[in-house]
Amino acid sequence: MSPAVEAGPGASPGQPAAIAAVNVTKRFPGVLATDAVDFCVWPGEVHTILGENGAGKSTLAAMLCGLYRPDEGHIERDGKQVRLRSPRDGLAYGIGMVHQHFRLVDRFTVAENVVLGDPHQARILDRRAIEERVAEIGEQFGLPIDPRAVISQLTVGQRQRVEIVKMLYRGADVLLLDEPTAVLTPPEVEALFTTVHSMTAEGKAIVFISHKLGEVMAVSDRVTVMRAGAVTGEVATADTNQRHLAELMVGHPVEIGTRRGSNIRADVALSATGVTVIDGDQTLVDNIDIEVHRGEIVGIAGVSGNGQRPLARALAGVITPTSGHVTVAGADVTGKGPKAARRAGLSFVPEDRLGTGLVPGLSLTDNMLLTRPRGFIVDRRSARAEIATAIDEYEIKTPGTEVQARNLSGGNSQKVLLARELAGLGDPGGPQAIIVSSPTRGLDIGAAEFVRGLLHDARERGAAVLIISEDLEEVRSLSDRIAVLYRGRIALEGATDELPFESIGLAMAGVAHEEAP
């Protein structure tokens, strides 16, 4: 039995859904991740799952592709009940998932990754035939990719294409994309949507997960909204709008807006002078000057891989720049290590949240304690109170303060890290400056708005804020000033209100300002 929903635009009458979850419930210790959820996608349709962090979106997708098994309820493929014991089973039924964290082998080529672990692949690999087929699929669906390129040399956007090609190569007719646009630049998002539409034109069914309402409106035929594991609404995109979707998600009216301050002070709380980072024969950061004043938010825009990561690490003291100087609140911290930078008043939210940000195997309380100055008697009780407050304020979905960080959903682990790093920002005794990579990446609109509010408050209270992000919308909505990073240099810089969107986009692509049409 399929859920009683009208067929999508690509479906012919009487056709069963390509895939359906029927009354699926999934529990984790202390958490009801999905609660009797019905969901289905018709061939030729894009169906978005929308919901706050921890709402159960990834869990639902994981059950649809065979990664998790439902505790109750079942999955149907073309109207027939199927039992999926693994993602391999899912693929045998033509169901493929592209996870937010890619699962490619770095030192293998595109073609090698595509066939790696493919049960249908003949034992003796005909390399040329595989490469031809990969190129062919790329051409057909607008996923240009060199089958012989080695993964480690590809950008994040190109890696995502490889993941999609891999699923198509293995015959997936149902594709699940978990927050695919979180890692893409605006032109890459456009290209992905073209690909999605060429897939639905072929009758494929697409499940799309995203927090960005504009995108959801642009790409989907239908939207299912989840909240705390349950479905709160299912609507056709044609019958809804962003505000309505936001309300379904959060449960009350939401204001979607930005505010820019004019509280900039004369003194500089974070500066880089001539910072250069050379690794072997590669110049990753090339003679960069940045000044962030108290009361100011500066955004570094750019496509990933243009020096953002080494620049942030050099500023935060994680690596020593080859030349140049870094100061925090007037103190020269160059080459003195991350603890010295912290002592001088710098907070740092790195790009890789789990790993250098949070320790997955430690509890939330212990993660809060990690960056406390040593030498005190460790005060677990105050750390626990702090995380408990954060759970409240950030609406972090977790059964408790002693849960391991690895059990949190993508967005919720980010909230924990932000809570730790933003604590006291802008207060007299707190951090004076912060460097934060992609502050709202992966956050639902409520949490994103809350974090934007925190950063704006910190600015009003005189902190210097440096944001680094590939998401141009994010940079523009938060920053007073923008600098575009291209090949380790600042290609364009100016007040946000005075830089046209197109000029920023061109600078990100390496087209000089003067050459712009």
Ligand X SMILES: Nc1ncnc2c1ncn2[C@@H]1O[C@H](COP(=O)(O)OP(=O)(O)OP(=O)(O)O)[C@@H](O)[C@H]1O
The residues that touch ligand X, with contacts defined as CB under 6 A, are 28, 31, 33, 51, 53-59, 397, 407-412
Q: How far is the CB of 413 from ligand X (least distance, A)?
A: 8
- Which range touches Mg ion (CB under 5 A), out of 8-16, 57-65, 230-238, 507-515? 57-65
Nearer residue to Mg ion within complex by CB, 352 or 460 = 352
DSSP state of 309: H
- Which range touches Mg ion (CB under 5 A), out of 50-58, 192-200, 292-300, 355-363? 50-58
Nearer residue to ligand X within complex by CB, 59 or 437 = 59
Residue 425's nearest CA partner among 391, 447, 455, 392 is 455
DSSP state of 377: P
CA distances from 379 to 188, 365, 374, 393 (A): 46, 10, 11, 21
**Contact with Mg ion (CB under 5 A): which of 34, 58, 185, 334?**
58
Nearer residue to ligand X within complex by CB, 65 or 168 = 65
**Contact with Mg ion (CB under 5 A): which of 43, 299, 410, 446?**
410
Nearer residue to Mg ion within complex by CB, 58 or 469 = 58
Nearer residue to ligand X within complex by CB, 21 or 55 = 55
DSSP state of 425: T
Q: How far is the CB of 442 from Mg ion (least distance, A)?
A: 8
Which residue has the CB atom at the shortest distance from ligand X? 411
Q: How far is the CB of 114 from ligand X (least distance, A)?
A: 26
Q: How far is the CB of 415 from ligand X (least distance, A)?
A: 9
Report the SS3 class of residue 485: strand
Q: How far is the CB of 147 from ligand X (least distance, A)?
A: 31
Q: How far is the CB of 404 from ligand X (least distance, A)?
A: 9
Q: How far apart are CA 321 and CA 92, in angstroms?
A: 50
For the beta carbon of residue 356, count every other beta carbon within 10 angstroms: 16
- 94 in contact with Mg ion (CB under 5 A): no
Chain length of the chain: 517
Which residue has the CB atom at the shortest distance from Mg ion? 58
Q: How far apart are CA 355 and CA 329, in angstroms?
A: 27
**Residue 358: contacted member of ligand X, Mg ion, none (CB under 5 to 8 Å, by partner type):** none
**Residue 63: contacted member of ligand X, Mg ion, none (CB under 5 to 8 Å, by partner type):** none
Q: How far is the CB of 260 from ligand X (least distance, A)?
A: 27
Instruction: Show Cβ contacts of residue 301 under 8 Å, excluding neighbours closer than 6 positions.
Output: 469, 470, 472, 475, 482, 483, 484, 485, 504, 508
Nearer residue to Mg ion within complex by CB, 299 or 410 = 410
Unique residue bearing structure tokens 């008697």: 377
Nearer residue to ligand X within complex by CB, 131 or 366 = 366
Q: Is 126 left (phi over 0), alpha (psi -120 to 50) or beta?
A: beta
Q: What angle do CA 183, 189, 192 make, to 5 degrees?
A: 105
Q: How far apart are CA 245 and CA 228, in angstroms?
A: 16
Residues that bind Mg ion (CB under 5 A): 58, 410
